Structure 1
Amino acid sequence: MIVLITGATSGFGAEMARKFAQHGHKVIATGRRQDRLDALAAEIGPSVLTVAMDVTDKESIAAALASLPPEWQEIDVLINNAGLALGVAPAQSASLEQWETMIETNCKGLVTVTRLLLPEMLKRNRGTIINISSSAGAYAYPGANVYGATKAFVDQFTRNLRADLVGTGVRASNIAPGLAGGTEFSNVRLKDDAAAAKVYEGTIPLSPADIAETAYWIATLPAHVNINHIELMPTCQGFGPLFIKRNT
């Protein structure tokens, strides 16, 4: 298989690149940070092709895909992993710029890459699209506002892809992780390494390896099997009561 992974410079994306390469598949690792891509290529070896690409820039995506050598162009699996959360402020005081960045990355970037690769998958009557969303797309919490909404978009977009792709041989799946450590997620979101570390204090969160294992399982199931949606949480995470603000 040839697997294209967005956001492969760290966390889930880098670990998924390792997982697929370890099992003999060819991996196109994309991301904005060329130094990180170079390090990943040096680690994995010739089974990985690195391509600098910014999913918030349609021209960057088109140029990256056009640059692929002929022997790397028949992409079997697309993993839309690039995404981020910014801030935890309530909606009334949140940064509009941060909201726009999350929408550009988590929604527009994902659909652009998908739309550009999908026609060729359909021509070959095969392919798998795996989108990485979040449990935040299903369960609201204070400060999630636009981040949670973008992940709900990913979930619904995946379902609608399935509706359009029935009978085509192209599959679409959504992975929705809960609390996950070992990534830059909280560091980027909070812009404070100490605060980010506290998010995971006293927990055993999901790891990038857990998500990579899940993506690999989905991608390597028999061609007639589609995993529509899979939600993962660590055992230390669960469901709580609805928030109630009381007058005192």
Structure 2
Amino acid sequence: MDKIAFVTGATSGIGKATAELLAAHGFNLVICGRRSDRLDELKQALSKQVQVQTLTFDVRDQQAVSSAIDSLPEEWKKIDILINNAGNAHGLAPIQTGSSEDWDAMMDINVKGLLYVSKVIIPGMVSRKSGQIINIGSIAGKEVYPNGNVYCASKFAVDAITSGMRLDLNPYGIRVSGIHPGLVETEFSLVRFKGDEQRASSVYKGFQPLTAKDIANTILFVINCPPHVVISDLTILPTAQASATIVHKQL
């Protein structure tokens, strides 16, 4: 079997664009998400190019994660590339008025979810002494911005976990990369602002943001580096963005 890539959060945005691009380049895929209808639709489209397995689970549920991955046919458990993409922002508020439910969702999805998926897949990579892990972080994991407090904390954690993985997995030849995008136009802001389409769309007005395909192309570049090369840490911004808080807009 050709190389297998395992992509979380594949039902939309960066995850979906990554699955589509990897399929176009011949990678067999395990695509994961919470929305089975979207996974089935994506599988139908990509199965014309490669072999595809779907797994429906919420990364916050450790038992569901383990059970789903354990249910894969044996030949599909030899995962070559793990792309930990699933993640969300919930709310944008000062720490003193933030929602504890939003805090729990961000820490559970962005941090614990990444760990739960990795915990099941990494042992196989260690035993085979090969593999590649790409964790999708954020510029919010590099610098904190006002009202971003817990979301930024969750992405700082992703950055630290990525570095820790690289240290721990170094003896086994496993490449570990962190990719940290700036402003990418996806469903991200729609989720953050609880479905407020007007507020979400205003985030991306007045400049050209990154697209999900831009990040997918970056992921493919990292994957295709020669075996002796690892892109350990990469921050990617739209040209109009200079930092987490500085964006040149022409309104």
- The alpha-carbon distance between structure 1 residues 240 and 132, as it changes in their structure 2 partners (threshold 3 A), is closer
Deviations 1:135-189 (A, max 9, x none): 01111111111000100000011111111122311111000000111x1100000
Question: What is residue 245 of structure 1 aligned with on the other side?
Answer: none
- Equivalent residues of 1:27, 1:48 under 8 A apart: yes
Q: Could you list the runs of 5+ residues in structure 2 that have no partner in the other structure?
A: 247-251
Superposition deviation, residue 202 in structure 1: 1.4
The match for 1:163 among 156, 163, 167 is 167
- Equivalent residues of 2:143, 2:244 under 8 A apart: no
Distance 1:167 1:30 in 2: 29
The match for 1:185 among 185, 188, 213 is 188
Question: What is residue 110 of structure 2 aligned with on the other side?
Answer: 106
Deviations 1:71-119 (A, max 9, x none): 2110000000000001111010010111011000000010111111111
- The alpha-carbon distance between structure 1 residues 241 and 158, as it changes in their structure 2 partners (threshold 3 A), is closer
**Identity rate, percent:** 45
Distance 1:4 1:106 in 2: 17
Does residue 128 (structure 1) correspond to residue 125 (structure 2)? The answer is: no
Distance 1:239 1:194 in 2: 24
Distance 1:85 1:79 in 2: 19
Question: What is residue 7 of structure 1 aligned with on the other side?
Answer: 9
Counterpart secondary structure, 1:166: helix
Does residue 71 (structure 1) correspond to residue 75 (structure 2)? The answer is: yes
- Equivalent residues of 1:7, 1:82 under 8 A apart: yes
Q: What root-mean-square deviation, in Å, do the aligned CA atoms of Structure 1 and Structure 2 show?
A: 1.3
Length-normalised TM-score, structure 1 = 0.94
Counterpart secondary structure, 2:132: strand
- Equivalent residues of 1:18, 1:44 under 8 A apart: yes
Superposition deviation, residue 134 in structure 1: 0.2
The match for 1:19 among 17, 21, 24 is 21
Deviations 1:189-248 (A, max 9, x none): 012011101000111111111111111111121111111100000001113889xxxxxx
Aligned residues: 241
1:31 partner amino acid: G
Counterpart secondary structure, 1:167: helix
Q: Could you list the runs of 5+ residues in structure 1 that have no partner in the other structure?
A: 243-248
Question: Aligned runs of 1:1-248 on 2, under 5 Å?
Answer: 1-45=3-47, 46-181=50-185, 183-191=186-194, 192-239=196-243
Distance 1:98 1:86 in 2: 5
Distance 1:4 1:239 in 2: 31
Distance 2:244 2:237 in 1: 14
Superposition deviation, residue 50 in structure 1: 1.1
Distance 2:66 2:4 in 1: 18
1:152 partner amino acid: F
Length-normalised TM-score, structure 2 = 0.93
